[in-house]
Structure 1
């Protein structure tokens, strides 16, 4: 890696009012493309459970899944900071397990920071992980690992008590040592207030333009899933349509004997094939 984007660049970007750009990746070729495009940070999210592995939610993702995909992304990255998600239950069973699992993502996976969901209730874990020399990105608002508690995908912080809790959580995460915090699906004005209140940058997803940076799932942004388009996503391409049409063209070419052509094939000397024919 060279010319790396770092945690210091996160803080500096907030001070300079430069928006931080984050996208997800779960494999080598996607990471390489995003990195070459100049993205600041690549998040290897546990969203891979849904967009890559086909699970209904993120709670099925394991440490082994995360390490496997983080490794692939790191191989394709030279500039962007790679952040790896701590999956469900990897930091819920105490400080010791939290530090061990965070260390695995960094040492075995190769990412340079970890992300974990939750606020005040996990401040001890955040503090211990950062004390071990591993940068932590927080995640508040709608937290996908808590889908069974929320009862579905719902905007958080719309009530007075809900807003107060997210603010308290944001301050606790900052105080515990996080270098940034994702704010997912909270009202735009609340996200703006929190962004103003914190000294660490906020990374929004469905939380409006006043956050210090933005993150979306790349598969959503490029239209890989045509039957699902979240409200908070801007679709920049329709890759799903392109892949389907390419597959149809391939099927047609093979069945019509238009592919492969001699240009796609390799040659052998005629005398070699003649000898082979005589022998067999």
Structure 2
């Protein structure tokens, strides 16, 4: 059952060195505050999983936290490269990392398989694609019923998943509205799940029928961090901070500037600072 903890307590209790961890979010609700707390706590030797790693994984990789990244599409959305990821892969700075690249379809199916307790995901995919020549975890199997050749990849079962959501109620259920992405499956596939939320309410009212509610028994810890998805957006709360993504391209291009920015904006910061960052982005 979910416990309400401060973010520092939630990270300290649930994320350990050497863990396989997913910080999931798709377009919005990206758990930046949780990732920044992991950076402040100096976690290392992590296997980072994410369907679409963007600047928050660039930050974690640039700080030397990752030994491996399992992903599909890596980039600064709408801008370009993840420069700290590229520096690690091409130049081994600050350390060389292993990469395991998949398609979006493979990642989604692998999370679903993990949530179902299955050892692998089987689906139609990778026909004519070159990824399987560089990723030995992409295999082919023959359907025992039709004889069709299908793709198979290992299921994803993180030690811990972090997501951001709009609301939790006082029982510890979590409400996710807007684009869901793969967050639900990432939580269900994990041994432990930590959710940062914009607010805690008595109960959910006027919930859209297509909204996602994670019952409290699927969640290990909940931390209240208003603005905790910044610079991504939180549907119904604040807009995407496009300027921050553009700025990141320049910051991340230089190693010294990157570390200086991280020291000032992450290491000397706290979860409370996220509220101030989204003040001008709040939805009316």
Compute the TM-score of the two structures, normalised by the length of structure 1: 0.33
Structure having the larger proportion of residues in strand: 2
Higher relative contact order (CA closer than 8 Å, sequence separation 6+): 2
Which one has a bigger Cα radius of gyration? Answer: 1
Q: Which has the higher helix share?
A: 1
